A = this chain, B = another copy of it.
């Protein structure tokens, strides 16, 4: 995937909160990103909008972005439910006519839109639907228990709170310690960054845990430590099924809890209050325990909306309240969480 030059569609939503896929590409594969489309922020840079990403330019239209020489259009925002807005179809058609590959993590498969599929065939352009499930999935049944690798799952109080980012931040730190570590990508963004994975939210419901099981078995073939990207939240009204299926299919030995201190209710579902973190940790451990005990061994906080002092204070408060190693892996680095995971990996009973 080294020759990819992405133009990322994030129209109207490019920012720290909403453009999760765009932001992960910019953070973890900036060398691939030539520009971002968002008419509401045209003329600015990724750095100015996100606080990282350097000089990558934001442009107003597809055509404005073409001058930077992209060879692929990435859909960098994820509308609720993943449906394809009608207005985008014309933009995607123009991108294909300009020879750009399409990379999409939407539920609606771009290659299933007849107009776009025909156009892609005509122009010999590939369409990558990252959520399309692999064929012949099966139900899970604890086969993960047969592998020797240590499995660590990120879980969280809500969606879009740092479950993928935490694992990607930890990946390098654990490899640097000489541990053969794999990243099991379970969502479209993780798959885009890693180059492999299964979008577990897009499989048939009966096969969620089967998909998670297969992914962990695959990753464990050449790794001693598997970092599984969590999804959703055990209290999320829309996505909890995916969260639990992933938990019970991947059967982690340990969990890392992700939370955003400023968030007190589920995003866009504020009728659900997020329980105190200590209670939430117990709920998550209790959900795993009947299948395989998976203690929470660290906390990963997302403090991007706090100033430096407040961030330090909340990390210290959570560390004290939970008794667990706590950090913001982006702001303060992943070291103490990587230490905790490495120690758990090396000392857990086998």
Q: Are A271 and B237 in contact (CB-based, < 8 A)? A: no
Find residues 275-306 in chain A having any chain B CB closer than 8 Å to their own CB.
275, 283, 286-287, 290-291
Q: Does A315 contact B (CB under 8 A)?
A: no
A241 and B242 contact, CB distance less than 8 A: yes
Answer whether A107 and B204 are a contact pair too, CB < 8 Å, given A139-B81, A268-B141, A273-B290: yes
* Bound CA span A200–B234, Å: 18
Bound CA–CA A279/B60 (angstroms): 57
Is A210 in contact with chain B by the CB < 8 A criterion? Answer: yes
> Does A269 make an interface contact (CB < 8 A)?
yes
Binds B, one of A51-59, A162-170, A171-179, A244-252: A244-252
Nearest CB of B to A220, in Å: 17
Within the complex, which residue of B241, B269, B283, B290 is in contact with A272, where a contact is CB–CB below 8 Å? B290
Instruction: Name the one of B139, B237, B286 contacting A286, with C-beta atoms under 8 angstroms.
Output: B286
Complex interface residues of chain A between 177 and 230 (CB less than 8 A to chain B): 200-210
Q: How large is the interface on A (under 10, 10 to 19, 20 to 34, 35 or more residues)?
A: 35 or more
Contact between chains at A204 and B205 (CB < 8 Å): yes
Cβ of A318 to closest chain B Cβ, rounded Å: 19
Q: Is the CB of B141 within 8 A of A269?
A: yes
**B interface footprint on A109-142 (CB within 8 Å = 1, 0 otherwise):** 0000000000000000000000000000011111
Convert A322-343 into 0s and 1s, putting 1 for each residue whose CB lies closer than 8 angstroms to a CB of B: 0000000000000000000000
Shortest Cβ gap from A83 to chain B (Å): 8
CB contact under 8 A between A201 and B205, given known A245-B241, A248-B237: yes
Do A200 and B205 have beta carbons less than 8 Å apart?
Answer: yes
Q: Which of A255-277 contact B (CB under 8 A)?
A: 268-269, 271-275
- A210 with B234: in contact, given A202-B204, A268-B141 (CB under 8 Å)? no
Assess whether A87 is interfacial by the CB under 8 Å rule.
no
Docked CA distance A80–B138 (Å): 9
**A317 interface contact, C-beta 8 A:** no
B contact residues around A239 at 8 Å (CB): 139, 206, 209
A12 located at the interface, meaning its Cβ lies under 8 Å from any Cβ of chain B in the complex: no
**Residues on the B chain within 8 Å of A235, using CB:** 248, 290-291
Task: From the candidates B139, B206, B268, B275, name the one contacting A290 in the complex (CB within 8 A).
Answer: B275
B234–A209 touching, CB < 8 Å: no
CB of A16 within 8 Å of the partner chain: no
What are 6 pairs between A and B in contact, CB < 8 Å? A81-B207, A140-B237, A142-B237, A202-B205, A210-B238, A244-B244
Interface residues of A (CB under 8 A from B): 80-82, 107, 138-142, 145, 200-210, 234-249, 251, 268-269, 271-275, 283, 286-287, 290-291
Top 6 closest pairs, chain A to chain B, by CB: A241-B245, A139-B238, A208-B241, A235-B290, A241-B241, A244-B244
